[in-house]
Amino acid sequence: MSRFAVMTDSTCDLPDELAQNHHIDILCFKIALDGEGYTERVDFTPEQFCEMLRNAKGLPTTSQITQFEFFERFEEYDRQGVEEVLYVSINAGGSGTNAAAHAAAEQFHEEHPNSAMRIFIVDSHAYSMAQGAPVVEAAKRLEAGEPMEKVVAYLEDIYARIEIVLTAYTLKVIRKSGRVSAAAAIAGDLLGIHPIFTLNDGVSQVVKKIRGDRAVLTAMVDMMKSRMVAGSPYYIAVSDRKYAEEYTRACTEKVGYGPVSVFVLGCAVLSNTGPDAVGLIYEGQKRER
């Protein structure tokens, strides 16, 4: 067992192979849909969940990861001789999961006063690969021998830079989040109007409303290009692979190089965006918090 352990949660949207290659432990959210309970990354793939959303009678709900789940994991690490645990959480403002991790860490130290294991908890202020990509980099740095405190400082810096631009082509599910009103969602679907959101530091803001699929694609790419640090990596998140080719082509033409990856949004994220969403994730200028 390594002297350190790296944890995150399933809103990170990291592909299984990438997480396994860097020994990243992912705790999974529970999702309920049409009266049935599921576990993300266990009971279905994101593609399967998208199809379920399209055919669902109701809307999905997610449950935060509990203090008990974190406490059990911390105890297991301690038994294995882990010296340092790094947990990077979903945006704390949008989920109680971060608070549950802090409570579990406090409980662990109270019940195991002789343990020397240290627990570091970082709020990503983000979702999806905006959360997940820096976790991979953190794991690489720890593998290379970088001190944990320096890795935590890197994470706090990069999470103050990463930005998300998001659109939804159908608004039924995203309406549930309160990001658009019911009336606006119905009108948008009828008229083909798509909102463009920024999602920075966990705060969602509608910045544009665009009519037409081609126009929203152009507006999304233009916004990323105008805000991103020149030459920095970016990612394309899609709910459905049908969006992958056109966004990859448009981004590559505008930015001058291709994305690091095009990946499918995970189920916890899809529960808030719906089955027809696209996000662009990139590095912008550092924000003051």
pLDDT given at position 179:
47
Query: How many angstroms separate the CA atoms of 228 and 255, rounded?
Result: 9
Query: How many angstroms separate the CA atoms of 146 and 135, rounded?
Result: 14
pLDDT given at position 172:
66
Summarize the confidence of residues 48-65 as an average pLDDT.
89
Q: Which of 42-56, 100-114, 180-194 bottoms out in mean pLDDT, i.e. has the lowest?
A: 180-194
pLDDT given at position 174:
62
pLDDT given at position 209:
85
* pLDDT band at 176; cut points 50, 70, 90: low
> Which tens digit of pLDDT belongs to each residue from 116-160?
999 999 999 999 999 999 999 999 999 999 999 999 999 999 999
Considering the chain, what is the average pLDDT of its residues?
A: 90
Query: How many angstroms separate the CA atoms of 220 and 77, rounded?
Result: 42
Contact 233, 252 (CB under 8 A): no
Summarize the confidence of residues 71-81 as an average pLDDT.
97
Strands (DSSP E) contained in the chain are: 4-9, 24-27, 30-33, 36-39, 61-63, 84-89, 118-123, 162-168, 193-200, 203-211, 234-238, 261-264, 277-283
pLDDT given at position 271:
86
Residue 74 has pLDDT above 70, yes or no: yes
Contact 3, 23 (CB under 8 A): no
Strand partners, 118: 84
Summarize the confidence of residues 241-253 as an average pLDDT.
96
pLDDT given at position 275:
85
Contact 188, 168 (CB under 8 A): no
pLDDT given at position 20:
96
pLDDT given at position 187:
40
By percentage, how much of the chain surpasses pLDDT 90? Answer: 72
Summarize the confidence of residues 43-52 as an average pLDDT.
90
Summarize the confidence of residues 36-42 as an average pLDDT.
93
pLDDT given at position 180:
46
